[in-house]
Chain A
Amino acid sequence: MISTLSAAALLLSSCAASGQGSVAAPLAGPTVTGAVVSAPLVAAPLEASFVRHEVVVEAAAPAADVLAVRAGHLHMADGSIVEDGVLLVRDGLVTAAGADVAVPDGARVVEHDGHVSAGLVAAYSAGYLPRDEANENTRAYLPDGRVVHGFDPELSALEDALEQGVTSLLLAPGTSQVVGGRTAVVKTSGGRVVTPNAHLALSMGAPAASTARTPTSYAGIVSGLDARFADAEGAYAEAKSGNLGLLTYVSARHEVDRALRLFERHELKGALVGPTLAGELAERIRASGCSVVLPNPPLVLDERTHDAMAALFEAQVPFAFWLSDPHEFRASAIVALRAGATRAQALASITSTAADIARVGTSVGKLLRGHDADFVLWSGDPLEFTTSVEAVYVRGELVHTAGHHGDDQ
C-alpha cells in the first residue's frame, strides 16, 4: 500500500522531469509527460502508459500481481552485491530490492541462483536506426531535429541487443552534422520511448568537417558553434541551462581539447562520445564536469589504450560504452574491469552510469524502488566472459529466455 503510493509519487516526478525537455520543444502539440509524447510515435506504449497511470492511481492490488525474484547474487543500485537477495516487481516497476525483503503471499516467484542485475543501458548507439536515417547530410545544423522519428521498434538489431541483456539504449544522430538534433532513449522491447528529448547532439569530429557541404574545417565548426552559443536561443539555450543534455562526438585528442575549450567559453558540459584516448586528458575532463562514452575497445588493449583507460577510472570521470555489436557491449565493461576499473564502476558503465549519462537515470539502469523493472538473469557473474544471459525482463515482463537454458518457473 504505502510502497505503491510512494512509487506513484516517484513515478510522477520522474515523468515531470523527463517532461521538461518536451515543453521547450517546438515539435509535439500536447506538452505533457515524456511517456505521452512517445504516444504518437508508437502505438503500443500509448495505452500501456495510460494503463500504467490507472494502475498506480487505484492503489491496493492483489499480491498476485507481484513478481518476486529470488537471486543468488543481486546487483544493487549502489554497486553492492547482495547474496540471496529478493527483487519485488509490481506494475512493471521495482517496488523493493535487497537482502531482507519479504515475499508477499501469492506473489509469482522466480528462483535464480545465478546473478541478477538491472537491464543493460547503452548511453550511445550506432546502427540502431534504419539505414541512412542517422545523418541529415544536407544540413550542418539541425538543432530541432528529433532522431526519435527514425526509431523503428521492429528493427531486428533491437532484438539482438535485447538477447545480450540490453534493455534501454540511446539513439543519436550521426556524426557528420555539427548539430544533429535531439537524442532519444528507447527500450529494446515493446517500442517504448523513455524520452524523445535527452540531449542536443553535436559533432566536433572529423566527419563534421566534410567537403560535401560547409563547414569544411574545424575553424568553421567552432565559429559556427561559438555564434550559436554566444547568444543562445531555443535548443542552444536549453543545452546551456542544462534542461537539455549535451552530447558531443569527438575522436582525436585535439578534438577533445577543442570541445573542452568551447565548453569553457560557453559554460557548457555534457557527454563526450568517441574519444578512445580521452584518458590522456582525464584531469581536464574531470575538471570540466563532462562524462565520456567510449567506443567498444578491443578485447586486448595495447599498452597505451590501457593506460589511458586506467587514467580515466583513476580520475573518477563518469564513463560508459557505446553499443554497436551487441556481443561486444558487455565485453567492453569486462575489458574496463581488466584495465583497472572497480567491479562497481565496470558494471555501472553499462547500467546506472550509462543511464545517468543518457539522462534517464531516474527511470532505468538501477534496481531501485520506482525504477522500471528491467533486469537480466545471468548464468554467472555478468563480468565474466564465460557468463551468458539466461532471461531478460522489461518492465517486469519476461521478454527473452536463452535457447539452451531458460529456467523461468
Chain B
Amino acid sequence: MLLGTAPIAAATLAAFTLGAGPATDATLAATTVQDDDGPRTSWIVTADEIHTATGRVIEGGFVRIGDGKITAVGRGKIAGDFHVAAITPGLVECSSGLSVGQRSVEQDSESTPHVSVEEGLDLFSTRWERELRRGVTTACVAPDDRNVLGGLPVVVKTGGGEPTMDDRVIKTRVGVRAAMGSEPSAGNSPVFGRAFGLFNRRPTTRMGVEWVFRRTFYDALRAQQDDDFTFEGVETVNQVLAGELPLFIQAAPRQDLMTALGLKAEFSIPNVVIDAAAEVIPEADAVVASGASLIFAPLEFDGTASVEGAQLPWNAPAHMAELGVTFALSARSTGNADYSLAMQPAHAIRGGLDPVKALEAVTIVPARLLGVDDLVGSIEQGKHADLVFWSGAPFQYTSSVTGVMVGGELAVDPRHGEEL
C-alpha cells in the first residue's frame, strides 16, 4: 500500500484553499514529481466542479495528488496537468453482488461465518478493469450466497499497483455475510437425495434458511454461557452479537426483509445492513424502527430488481432519505451499462433523490458501511487518490465517466478517454 503523505501537503493545502496567486503556481507545478519506476502517481488536476462528498462542491478548483494520495484540494485557478469538467471521488461498490464464483464459499457447512473470502479472490480477472472503467475504484467482495452465513467479505481496490493482496486488499473481516431468500437453499436436496456430493444438506426452503441462521446464533449465545460448548466461528458470531462486526444480510423481497429485521430484533444485533434491499416502501416503518442500514439493489427501468424478482420503484431511495434511513446504492455485477454504479445515482435522482445524497450513496456512505471511510470515499487530504472524471455535471444522463484515477494512477485517461 502507498504510505505517508508529502510533508508539505498541509502547507500547500492551506496556501491554495486561500486561493493561489499565479506566483505560487510555478512552485506547485514544480513539486509534481514523477517517480521513474512504475506508473506516474503524482498529478495536479483542475476542474469546473469538484464534488468532494464532504458536503461541499468546489466550483473551479484543483486536486493535487502526491504518491497516490490526495495532498491538497482547493479553489482557484492554477496550472495543472489536465483539466476536466467535474471530479467525484472514486465510486465504492458495497453490495456483495460482485460474485467471484462458487469456489469463494466454503460449503462444508451451511453456516461458515468465520471463513474469509480473501483466499478466493482472483485479482488477475479482467472484471476489475471493467469495474474500474465504469468508475468503481473500491469494491466489497463477499462469498457467494450458497451458505446462510457465508463468511467474511473483504474490500479490494479495482486497480493501482500490482494485482497482489498487498496492493489491492485494503480491509479484511469487513463483516459477516448472510443471505435470506432462496439462494442458500438452491440446489440442495434431502439427505436421501443425491448420494454423492455436498448438496444433500439443509436448508431447502426459506424456513430452513431462517432455521440455520437462528441455530447458529443460539449456539453462539449458548457458548457464551457454557464454556464446554463451542463451534467453528463462534468468535465471529459473538463479534456480530457485540456489534464489532456488521452483519450484511441479503433480503430483497418483502418477506425476506421482514425475516431479516425479525432476526435483528430477536438477537438484538446492533449493526445490520440489508443488502439488495428492494421492497422497503411497504415496510418503511419497520425499516426505520429497526435502525438497519440499506444497500439498494440496482434500479432498473421496469421497476423490478434483478434479485429474486422483487419490485424496486425508483423513488424508493428518495423515500428512505426522507425517513432518514442510511443507505447506499449498488450495481452488483450487472453487465448492463445502463445500470452501472455511475448510472444508479442518476436513476435515484430521477426518482426524486437529492443529488448530494445520491453522490454520497455511492461514495462515502458505502465506504462507511465497509469501514474504509478513513481511506476512500471522499476527496480529502490524505485519502487515496481515487477519482472519477466526468464530461459534465456528474450523475446526469447527459454526462458520463471520461477518466478514472486509482491510487494516483490514471487507469482511464480523460485526455484521450482511452485506457493507458
A–B proximity contact (CB within 8 A) = yes
Q: Which residues of A contact B (CB under 8 A)?
A: 206, 209, 211-223, 252-254, 257-258, 261
A-B contact pairs, 13 of them (CB 8 A): A214-B106, A214-B198, A216-B102, A217-B104, A217-B106, A217-B143, A220-B108, A254-B121, A254-B122, A254-B124, A257-B165, A258-B119, A261-B165
Shortest A3–chain B CB gap in Å is 53
Given known contacts A214-B108, A217-B115, A206 and B124 CB-to-CB distance under 8 angstroms: no
Shortest A152–chain B CB gap in Å is 27
Q: Is B183 an interface residue (CB 8 A)?
A: no
B119, B143, B164, B197: the one within 8 Å of A212 (CB): B197
> Which residues of chain A are within 8 angstroms of B123 by Cβ–Cβ distance?
254, 257
Q: Is B199 an interface residue (CB 8 A)?
A: yes
| Interchain residue pairs A-B with the least CB separation, the first 8 | A214-B108, A254-B122, A216-B107, A217-B106, A219-B119, A222-B119, A220-B106, A253-B124
B104, B124, B165: the one within 8 Å of A252 (CB): B124
Given known contacts A212-B197, A252-B124, A253-B124, A218 and B115 CB-to-CB distance under 8 angstroms: no
Q: Is B196 an interface residue (CB 8 A)?
A: yes
12 further contact pairs, Cβ within 8 A, besides A212-B197, A217-B102, A218-B104: A212-B198, A214-B107, A217-B120, A218-B120, A219-B118, A219-B119, A220-B115, A252-B122, A254-B124, A257-B165, A258-B119, A261-B165
Q: Is B117 an interface residue (CB 8 A)?
A: yes
Complex Cα distance, B116 from A366, in Å, reads 47
Structural contact, A211 and B120, CB atoms closer than 8 A: no
Shortest A19–chain B CB gap in Å is 37
Given known contacts A212-B196, A254-B122, A254-B123, A218 and B108 CB-to-CB distance under 8 angstroms: no
**Chain B contacts with A in 75-123, Cβ cutoff 8 A:** 102-108, 115-123
Complex Cα distance, B121 from A211, in Å, reads 18
Q: Is B394 an interface residue (CB 8 A)?
A: no
Q: Is B151 an interface residue (CB 8 A)?
A: yes
Shortest A171–chain B CB gap in Å is 26
A216, A223, A253: the one within 8 Å of B103 (CB): A216
Q: Mark B110-141, 1 if CB is under 8 A from A, else 0.
A: 00000111111111110000000000000000
Structural contact, A257 and B164, CB atoms closer than 8 A: yes
Shortest B235–chain A CB gap in Å is 15
Interface of B is mostly: loop
Shortest B109–chain A CB gap in Å is 9
Complex Cα distance, B109 from A214, in Å, reads 9
> Which residues of chain B are within 8 angstroms of A223 by Cβ–Cβ distance?
115, 119
Shortest A368–chain B CB gap in Å is 41
Determine the interface band of chain B, counting residues with CB < 8 A from chain A.
Answer: 20 to 34
| Most A Cβ at <10 Å: residue of B119, B122, B151, B197 | B119
Shortest B84–chain A CB gap in Å is 33
Structural contact, B164 and A211, CB atoms closer than 8 A: no
Structural contact, B197 and A211, CB atoms closer than 8 A: yes
Shortest B14–chain A CB gap in Å is 43
Structural contact, B124 and A211, CB atoms closer than 8 A: no
Q: Mark B388-406, 1 if CB is under 8 A from A, else 0.
A: 0000000000000000000
Shortest A12–chain B CB gap in Å is 45
> Which residues of chain A are within 8 angstroms of B121 by Cβ–Cβ distance?
254
Q: Nearest CB to that of A220 among chain B residues? A: B106
Shortest B187–chain A CB gap in Å is 9
Given known contacts A211-B107, A253-B124, A257-B164, A218 and B197 CB-to-CB distance under 8 angstroms: no
> Which residues of chain B are within 8 angstroms of A261 by Cβ–Cβ distance?
165
> Which residues of chain A are within 8 angstroms of B103 by Cβ–Cβ distance?
206, 209, 216-218
Complex Cα distance, B166 from A257, in Å, reads 12
> Which residues of chain A are within 8 angstroms of B102 by Cβ–Cβ distance?
211, 216-217
Given known contacts A211-B199, A261-B165, A219 and B115 CB-to-CB distance under 8 angstroms: yes
> Which residues of chain A are within 8 angstroms of B196 by Cβ–Cβ distance?
212
> Which residues of chain B are within 8 angstroms of A217 by Cβ–Cβ distance?
102-107, 115, 119-120, 143
Structural contact, A216 and B124, CB atoms closer than 8 A: no
> Which residues of chain B are within 8 angstroms of A216 by Cβ–Cβ distance?
102-103, 105-108, 198
Structural contact, B198 and A219, CB atoms closer than 8 A: no
Given known contacts A206-B103, A212-B198, A214-B107, A219 and B151 CB-to-CB distance under 8 angstroms: yes
Shortest A30–chain B CB gap in Å is 39
Shortest B160–chain A CB gap in Å is 17
> Which residues of chain B are within 8 angstroms of A252 by Cβ–Cβ distance?
122, 124
B116, B122, B125, B165: the one within 8 Å of A219 (CB): B116
> Which residues of chain A are within 8 angstroms of B119 by Cβ–Cβ distance?
217-219, 221-223, 258
> Which residues of chain A are within 8 angstroms of B163 by Cβ–Cβ distance?
257
Shortest B397–chain A CB gap in Å is 37
Complex Cα distance, B143 from A195, in Å, reads 42
Complex Cα distance, B104 from A221, in Å, reads 11
Shortest A32–chain B CB gap in Å is 41
Q: Mark B165-200, 1 if CB is under 8 A from A, else 0.
A: 100000000000000000000000000000011110
Complex Cα distance, B117 from A21, in Å, reads 37
Structural contact, A219 and B120, CB atoms closer than 8 A: yes
Shortest A373–chain B CB gap in Å is 45
Complex Cα distance, B201 from A213, in Å, reads 12
Q: Nearest CB to that of A217 among chain B residues? A: B106
> Which residues of chain A are within 8 angstroms of B151 by Cβ–Cβ distance?
219
Shortest B177–chain A CB gap in Å is 12
Complex Cα distance, B391 from A354, in Å, reads 57
Complex Cα distance, B113 from A35, in Å, reads 50
Shortest A249–chain B CB gap in Å is 15
Q: Nearest CB to that of A281 among chain B residues? A: B124
> Which residues of chain B are within 8 angstroms of A206 by Cβ–Cβ distance?
103
Complex Cα distance, B125 from A217, in Å, reads 17
Shortest B162–chain A CB gap in Å is 10
Structural contact, A219 and B106, CB atoms closer than 8 A: yes
